[in-house]
Amino acid sequence: MNYRDSSEQANWREQVRRFVESNAPEEYRIRHRPAVDSYGGGDETFQAWRSRVAKQGWLAPHWPKEYGGLGLSVMEQFIMKEEFALQRTPHPGARGVEMVGPTVILHGSDAQKAELLPGILNGEHIYSQGFSEPGAGSDLAALQLRATRDGDEYVLNGQKIWTSNATSCNWMFLLARTDPEAPKHRGISYFVTPVDVPGLEVRPMTDMAGGHELCETFFDNVRIPASYRIGEENRGWYVAMTTLDFERSGIAGAVGVQLAILDLVSMARAANVVSRQRTRLADLFVASEVARQMSYHVASLQDRGQVPNYESSMVKLFSSELHRRADTDALNVLGLRGYLLRGSAGYEVDEGRVARAYSGSIPTTIAGGTSEIQRGIIAGRGLGLPRG
């Protein structure tokens, strides 16, 4: 691939950089803040930032122009996400822009596009993802949330888990079983629904880092219009695979890990760490650059009209494992003080962010497809190995 921007791409990169530098909230650019997309909707700073980006017309720049986007090329979208990440600033498109909108554009009816896309584009509709269930995580097709047709509505009963940001989102996209007798991949349908419907209960859960973004959601005779089913009945698995195809280069995550490593280098200098830790830090930085190069490769494949498959799994596997390794090595480099949370009489490092990052990094090798799943995809689709 060509690593150099064309003149048009260089101008676009500079335009994005100037906008972020001039408009992004200062608190987004503090040290040790992950440079990844935020999917939340309740934080006032995030809401204000989303409004600024929406007014700029950059909330969904990769959407076709006829649906309110800018019709950016894959590489222009990649450049935009990279520049936001380099400024430690989340691109506030979130799941609605990155996943639901493109899915509705490809699989939705004209009426669904007219109803659902404007709310996503102006930032009013913030989506959570209702996929995983207590018995359906890596084996997502084993889901049991039941959707039964009743006239012009579906009645939903069951449970979802790990529903990120469900307390701060006002819409959800989800998978439900509409034919319990069909093979498990063929009896699933894809829906969207407002969260404030009768019978839908959201229960926050506390994660290892003390956060409350993960939730359980319960459906007790929840009625949603049949018009909120996207695509054909019982073909939702294939619609969902379209959803999961979008935004797979992982550049924001790769940049985020690299910035966190550079933060660690600065903290190590200030703490006068012993020389044997220098090699550990150098190895981490080299690995972070590998992660960025892998993201560039995926973006270049998409830019040439190809569909990355195992290449995306390679990026996800390498970046998430590196994220975990970097946060673990930060504790080794900084010593016992790195384990202390904020409020430890001033002995904590960087207001306890190192300790919180360590706890928060544990799910990175699970969320979005476990490392074991990614290795299976790479082995089968990348290396052509038979199933074990």
SS (H, E, C) 259-284: HHHHHHHHHHHHHCCCCHHHHHHHHH
- Residues 365 and 287 reside in one and the same domain: yes
Q: Which residues contact 141 (CB under 8 A, 6 or more apart)?
A: 184, 185, 188, 237
The answer to whether residue 1 is domain-embedded is no
The answer to whether residue 112 is domain-embedded is no
The pLDDT tens digits for 125-156 are 999 999 999 988 888 899 999 999 999 999 99
CATH number, domain containing residue 355: 1.20.140.10
- Residues 360 and 265 reside in one and the same domain: yes
- Residues 262 and 378 reside in one and the same domain: yes
- Residues 229 and 256 reside in one and the same domain: no
- Residues 209 and 326 reside in one and the same domain: no
Q: Residue 193 forms beta bridges with which residues?
A: 172
The answer to whether residue 146 is domain-embedded is yes
Query: Residue 357's pLDDT is what?
Result: 86
The pLDDT tens digits for 217-257 are 999 999 999 999 999 999 999 998 876 655 566 888 889 88
- Residues 262 and 367 reside in one and the same domain: yes
Domain span at residue 181 reads: 127-234
- Residues 217 and 256 reside in one and the same domain: no
The alpha carbon torsion through 321, 249, 297, 19 (nearest 10 deg) reads: -120
- Residues 226 and 260 reside in one and the same domain: no
Helix (H, G, I), strand (E, B) or coil at 107: helix
Q: Residue 153 forms beta bridges with which residues?
A: 150, 225
Q: Which residues are catalytic?
A: 247
CATH number, domain containing residue 157: 2.40.110.10
Residue 255 is which amino acid? Answer: V
- Residues 188 and 257 reside in one and the same domain: no
- Residues 259 and 348 reside in one and the same domain: yes
Please tell me the pTM assigned to this model.
0.83
Query: Residue 32's pLDDT is what?
Result: 44
Are the C-beta atoms of 172 and 130 separated by less than 8 Å?
yes
Look at the chain and report how many structural domains it folds into. 3
**Torsion-angle region of residue 108: left (phi > 0), alpha (psi -120 to 50) or beta?**
beta
The answer to whether residue 184 is domain-embedded is yes
Residue where a domain stops, chosen among 204, 234, 264: 234
Are the C-beta atoms of 374 and 317 separated by less than 8 Å?
yes
Residues of the chain with pLDDT under 50: 32-40
By C-alpha distance, which of 302, 37, 41 is closest to 171?
41
Q: Residue 194 forms beta bridges with which residues?
A: 171
Residue where a domain stops, chosen among 211, 234, 257: 234
